Amino acid sequence: MSRVRCAWVGAVAACAFGLAVAPAMADDPPPDLSSSTFRCQPENAIPPVLGSTRPGDFVVCQLNVALAGSSNAYHVTADIAIPAGTTWAPLPNAQGIGIPAGAPTKVHFDETKLGLLNPGIPKPASIRLKIDDGAVAGAPIGPVATIMDPLATTFTVAAAPLSVMPQRT
């Protein structure tokens, strides 16, 4: 039997048994990145203790990239902006690339970290920030993440802002 005839017989058999055939990728709606969330907390926060955000302390921020809807995303990347008054302070096993290299203003997560994303299965990306010694008490610490995929609308999400606490006297 020829390949064409085999494919035709297979399609007819699938219809006869009520099996659904997956729609073509061209018919899928574009991926929707709007289910992504972003939050920050002091590194020294261990519930029920809230932790501190004084100069010299560290803040850990986690972006959870997630899809709304049923379409996959294949080339997801993200940038997390480093807010004023803080410095990127990665741990030795940190993922993400500081841009520019010397004094980064953002951390980029490429396709090797995010890449393929399936609905219902979020992927995390985290950064660690050090509050600068000269940070002014009351100044906001509010990083913003931008999530991108060539087929999706770019999605931006901000973490709930923390505030720099006054130094202990």
**pLDDT tens sequence across 114-126:** 999 999 999 999 9
pLDDT digits (tens, 9 = 90+) for 145-158: 999 999 999 999 99
* Position 13 pLDDT exceeds 80: no
pLDDT digits (tens, 9 = 90+) for 45-103: 877 667 889 999 999 999 999 999 999 999 999 999 999 999 999 999 999 999 999 89
Please answer whether residues 111 and 65 qualify as being in contact, where contact means their C-beta atoms are separated by less than 8 angstroms: no
Q: What is the pLDDT of residue 109?
A: 98
Q: Does residue 124 fall inside a structural domain? A: yes
Q: What is the pLDDT of residue 126?
A: 97
Q: Does residue 66 fall inside a structural domain? A: yes
Domain residues for the domain of 124 are: 25-163
Q: What is the pLDDT of residue 167?
A: 83
Q: What is the C-alpha to C-alpha distance for residues 81 and 145, in angstroms, rounded to an integer?
A: 6
Higher pLDDT, 20 or 37: 37
Rounded to an integer, the average pLDDT of 1-19 is 47
Q: Does residue 78 fall inside a structural domain? A: yes
Q: What is the pLDDT of residue 38?
A: 98
Q: Does residue 151 fall inside a structural domain? A: yes
Q: Does residue 8 fall inside a structural domain? A: no
Q: Does residue 168 fall inside a structural domain? A: no
Report residue 135 as tokens. Answer: 């940070």
Report residue 141 as tokens. Answer: 């610490």
- CATH code at 50? 2.60.40.1170
Q: Does residue 54 fall inside a structural domain? A: yes
**pTM across the whole model:** 0.81
SS (H, E, C) the chain: CCHHHHHHHHHHHHHHCCCCCCCCHHHCCCCECCCCEEEEEECCCCCCCCCCCCCCCEEEEEEEECCECCCCEEEEEEEEECCCCEEECCCCCCCCEEECCCCCCEEEECCCCCEEEECCECEEEEEEEEECCCCCCCCEECCEEEEECCCCCCEEEECCCEECCCCCC
* Position 33 pLDDT exceeds 70: yes
Q: What is the pLDDT of residue 28?
A: 84
Q: Does residue 19 fall inside a structural domain? A: no
Structural domains in the chain (count): 1
Q: What is the pLDDT of residue 14?
A: 46
Report residue 78 as tokens. Answer: 């993200």
Q: What is the C-alpha to C-alpha distance for residues 70 and 30, in angstroms, rounded to an integer?
A: 9
